[in-house]
Each structure stands twice: as C-alpha cells, then as structure tokens.
Amino acid sequence: MGEDSSGTAFDALAWFMNVSTSVLIVFVNKLLMDAKHGYAFTFATTLCAFHFLSAAACVKLSQLLGWTQSAHMPWRVVMYFAVVADVSIASLNLSLLVNSVGFYQVAKLLIIPFVCVVELLYMRKRFSAPVVASIAVVIMGVAIVTVTDVTITPAGLLVAALSVVSSGMQQILCGSIQRQHKLQSHQLLANTAPIQGGMLLLLGPFIDKLVSGSWVGRYTLTTPGLACLMASCAISVAVNISQFMCLGRFSAVTFQVLGHTKTVLVLLTSWWVLHEPMSPRKAMGMMLAVAGMVAYGYFNSSSGSSSNSSSSSSSSSLDKLAAKERSAEQLPLFNRSANSSQDLPTVVTASQVMGSAGVEKRLTAVPSSGSLAKSGSLTTINVVAR
C-alpha cells in the first residue's frame, strides 16, 4: 500500500512539475525571442543547445556533490538517442521554415498516431476503441485551436515527415532506454545531454540562420537579455528533468495526449494575463481537447485495471495508468540479448528527466506575427513571435 501511494505521489509530482515548468518557459522564451516586446533572441536551435548544456552541467554537479548517482550507457545507445533527438529539434525548426504554420501544427499532431502505430506494431500494445476515440477527440480539439492555413509542398512534406518520425521515436526511446538499462532520468540526461548540446551548438547557428535570417554571433546581448536567457536555461533544467520523468513512468502516447493540457493552459494564461483574444473557435477547441484528455485518462486507466487483476481497486486512475504503461515491452532495437531476463524498473526519480534536456523543450521563433503554441512532445514548445 505504501509503495502504491509513493508511486502515485511521484507520478503526480512528475506531471505537475512538467506542466508548470513547460507553461512557464513558454512565456519566458516568448519574452526572450520576441523582437517587438522582448530581447529578439530568435535563435531557437542554439537556445536548445544552451538548454541541453545547462541540464548536463546541473546533473554533473549533482553527481560530483554526491546528491545523485552516476551510471554509464553503451556508447552506441548514447549516440543513437542523441542523433534522433537532435534531428527532431532541427527538423521541427526547419518544418516551420518551409511549411505554413497550419501544416506545421498538423505535423505535430500526427506525432500521436505515429507513436500509437509504433507501440502497436513493435511494443505489442493494444488500444481499446474508447481510447482511440478519445485520442481522436484530443487531436481534433487541438487542431481546431492551432491549425489555420494549410499549404503543402514536396520539400515541406518531407521535412514534416522527418519531424514526426524523429520526435515520436525520441519520446519512445526516452522511456525505453530508461527501462532497458535501468536508468533514472538524471542518469539518462547526464549521458546524452552533453552530446546533444554539443551537436546543436555546432549545427544550431546554421539552422537559425536559415530560419531567422541572421547569425547568432551578431546578436547584441544586453544585461536584461542575459538575465532572461539565464532564466530560460534554469527553467529548462526542470522542464527536461520532468519530461524524462514522465516518459520514464508513462508511455509516449500518454505523454503526447495529456501533454496537450499545456497547450490549453498556455492559451488560457495568454487570454487571462496577456489579454489576448479568445475566439469562440479557440474556446470550443479547448473544451473538446480537455474532454478528450479526461476521457483518455478514464478509459486508459480502466483498461489497465481490467488487464491487471492484481491492481488494487482503491488505486487512483493516475496510478493505474502509470502501472499499466510501465509494463510496456521494449523496442526490438534494445533487445539484442534474447537470453537476458532483466526486469524493468517501475520507479523513476525526478533526476531521470534531465537525461535529454533538449527534448524537453524546443523553441521556434517566427519572424512574422503568429500565435503561441505548445505541443505535448516532447515536449516541444514552439513560440511564434508576435
């Protein structure tokens, strides 16, 4: 009973931490990247590199001070994960460059069905009809809120497809690697974040030049701008830690579906605090998305309890959902040793999230006016400068 209560508490803590920090970083980065009312740091990919390196430094420091334990990963796995995660970040930024904002949002929503297909085919996970219907309702609601004009080009379609596949795989691998190698979130982050940050620091300026039209080296950094940049990096550490915690405890599908609570909260906060207009279409889309998320949580947890008779009837829906998804099978890629009988750990601590600081939040600035949007992947936060 005590272990169940502890697991539920960690689930709730991880989700609350991820939602709150994700919403907060959207507005901090909006201030940092907004050319009109902020500090015009429109270099999203380079900013992601700073986020990864900040997370890596914090995790390494905690290990040196003895607050957390270190763990080593196979070099092949580290490089594979880092490359997939960095391709996800770069392709999301390039997708916004070559596609309309509407098609960019459509591509982000397609991450959910992609992850479902991967989990169905390779992880042998089954989705009940009510769960599939609730996922469809969430996608429809978010689409109503975020999708406007949709223009498709061959190059844009290719980049968008790459962003969907890489973003979905990054989220699946995040949880799979943690369970396969029995890592905590901070240990995964400590192994992968330095590599990801280094790669993005080399490639970021060139991608940012394509997207924003200017070089990061020519940016004039002021004291207030530096303070805002440091605040963004500090918050990103918590964002990445909590994201890795969530991906270690829940499935990538659940992270994507319930992650759209952040989209709704960002829009509500913008309307309430910043007095941005709230059209009937946005309000209807948000209500539809919230209804779909509530239905998903209910039907998914009900499915988990029916398939696991040992679950206590007094367990909360969140606990049942986490218990079900922690038992998901590994991706074949990491099951090289068929004779290995390592059991998957069911507890992931807060430090685990730091494993890939960049997944967590990816920010994209758009020179023209647009809207502020947040995808549930991976965390990916997209800030469109107004």
How far is residue 173's CA from residue 201's CA, in Å, rounded to a whole number? 23
Q: Which pLDDT band, with edges at 50, 70 and 90, does 260 fall under?
A: confident
Helix boundaries (H) for 40-110: 44-64, 75-98, 101-109
How far is residue 373's CA from residue 379's CA, in Å, rounded to a whole number? 12
171 burial (CB, 10 Å; 0-12 / 13-18 / 19+) is: buried
CB 93 within 8 A of CB 362: yes
Can you give the pLDDT at residue 155?
86
pLDDT at 203 over 70: yes
pLDDT, averaged across the chain: 78
pLDDT at 352 over 80: no
Q: What is the 3-state secondary structure (H, E, C) of 327-386?
A: CCCCCHHHCCCCCCCCCCCCCCCHHHHHHHHHHHCCCCCCCCCCCEEECCCCCCEEECCC
Most confident of the ranges 13-27, 197-211, 284-298: 197-211
Task: Specify the DSSP class assigned to residue 311.
Answer: S
pLDDT at 347 over 70: no
How far is residue 241's CA from residue 9's CA, in Å, rounded to a whole number? 16
57 burial (CB, 10 Å; 0-12 / 13-18 / 19+) is: middle
Q: Say whether pTM exceeds 0.75.
A: no
- Report pLDDT digits (tens) over 177-202: 998 999 988 899 999 999 999 999 99
pLDDT at 363 over 50: no
Can you give the pLDDT at residue 4?
61
How far is residue 232's CA from residue 161's CA, in Å, rounded to a whole number? 29
DSSP letter for each residue of 172-226:
HHHHHHHHHTT--HHHHHHHHHHHHHHHHHHHHHHHHHHHHSS-GGG----HHHH
Q: Which pLDDT band, with edges at 50, 70 and 90, does 106 fall under?
A: confident
- Report pLDDT digits (tens) over 3-35: 566 667 778 888 888 889 988 998 999 899 988
Can you give the pLDDT at residue 380?
37
Can you give the pLDDT at residue 9?
78
pLDDT at 162 over 90: yes
Q: How far is CA 293 from the centre of its chain?
A: 17
The residue among 148 and 375 whose pLDDT is bigger is 148
Left, alpha or beta for 252 (phi > 0: left; psi -120 to 50: alpha)?
alpha
CB 359 within 8 A of CB 199: no
pLDDT at 257 over 90: no
